[in-house]
Structure 1
């Protein structure tokens, strides 16, 4: 399989490759209306470093999709494009039927309100207790009364098992509790799309498994389009309805979870099995 790295030193458009990676049509691709989030030939470079090199992906609604791939291959950059924090150099990010870079900044802000994001470390405000952290989006983006906010916040904190930690500061709770608080905050606006940037980062295997159980439980209860970025193969196998594998800025496989884990593609097979023999090396 040839990639853009094969072209170094030639007078060729660095976005292109000699042979395009295998990119199957995602399930349900027949109608664009079934996909709240669509990535169309998105390319992004930072200086001479080309991160996304023509990535196409329609995320299946009301499902959990996990994006896997080596470090530095563009997974977190993809999330930032979806939520409108990064503008692509080329291509389109279509969210809820709109190219988010063909609308005003105010309209983009309204679109972002339909997203929930769980960051790697929870990204809690250190000056606020757990309750106020979770209440923050409601106070910022709605005109609800404090009694209404309290009802919503306590319901979310109960779902993640943190009702006894409402008055604690982020520095007073464990890493797993910070993740759960971040998850509760991501859900308070009843988002259509919830994104997780390496939710298992920094957690031991047991707490990772418990967080995965929580993701599955809340998705089953509330629905929505969940998009996870992770390096943890066990997480991907446990929580995913669909798995996308990204390498060198392109999607090289996308399909149902078991299909991915049974793939014959050399890179996909190597990455998902953790084998040292294959196209992925130390470079």
Structure 2
């Protein structure tokens, strides 16, 4: 965004509340199974506030399930999910619903409503969860659409825009409530390398401006290298590595090295 296009953000981010350990979100000793399939197997992670944490791991190891636990859509079989200093399964559903408003979520396919144009898709959370006037909503939505480079596409239907544009529209919608935590469920899924890189640029730019706590689930190692402050690597429902991104990509651990290098030789096999 050029300097002469800069607008004042309609409202200011609330400073994230951290728990006693200084983390805005954490999961501890998380167990979850679906029938006989054990997905979470004692998983623990503390997410650094105002940083981008990338969650990596083989398919079926629980990355997207972790996000659903964080936002309170799935209840663990055992273990705790702490957000903004509260165990979200130790509070009433009404309070949990209020906490969810402090999250933004970008789903794999953007999850846009096909019957609404881009503008109305992005405005939807504000209309549903706030009492803002339409002029206030327009100010916020226009700002967020400009931020992701979609101000010229606001009247287009989802079937009239590309996959990359759908992702950016979903990102704009995830941001309109000024969330303190933004969850990305494979934002690069289905995108070619160039559009993936462009989307990553948008994520980095907006994070630099908003300084929220971002959690990115991805299979794409290039995405992890480009956007991560921290990397969490999950295998068989447990965390096998968590730490600064630069240390992850120089790790001598056999599993970490194999997965991040995409090597066929190592402890990770086809099963």
TM above 0.5, yes or no, is yes
TM category (shorter chain) comes to over 0.9
Structure 2 stretches of 5 or more lacking a match? 1-18
In 2, Cα distance between the equivalents of 1:147 and 1:114? 22
Instruction: Give the aligned CA root-mean-square deviation in angstroms.
Output: 0.7
Matched with 1:242 is: 230
TM-score by length of 2: 0.92
Shift of 1:32: 3.0
Deviations 1:183-240 (A, max 9, x none): 0000000000000000000000000000000000000011110000000000001000
2:122 is the alignment partner of 1:134: yes
In 2, Cα distance between the equivalents of 1:168 and 1:34? 43
Structure 1 stretches of 5 or more lacking a match? 1-30
Aligned mate of 1:175, from 145, 163, 168: 163
Kindly name which structure, 1 or 2, has the bigger radius of gyration based on alpha carbons: 1
Structure 2 matches for 1:151-230, cutoff 5 A?
151-230=139-218
Matched with 2:58 is: 70
Matched with 1:89 is: 77
TM-score by length of 1: 0.89
Deviating above 6 A after TM superposition, structure 1's stretches of 4 or more consecutive aligned residues are none
2:136 is the alignment partner of 1:115: no
Equivalent pairs counted in the alignment come to 253
* Cα contact 1:33–1:97 (8 A) shared by 2: no
Deviations 1:2-24 (A, max 9, x none): xxxxxxxxxxxxxxxxxxxxxxx
Matched with 2:14 is: none
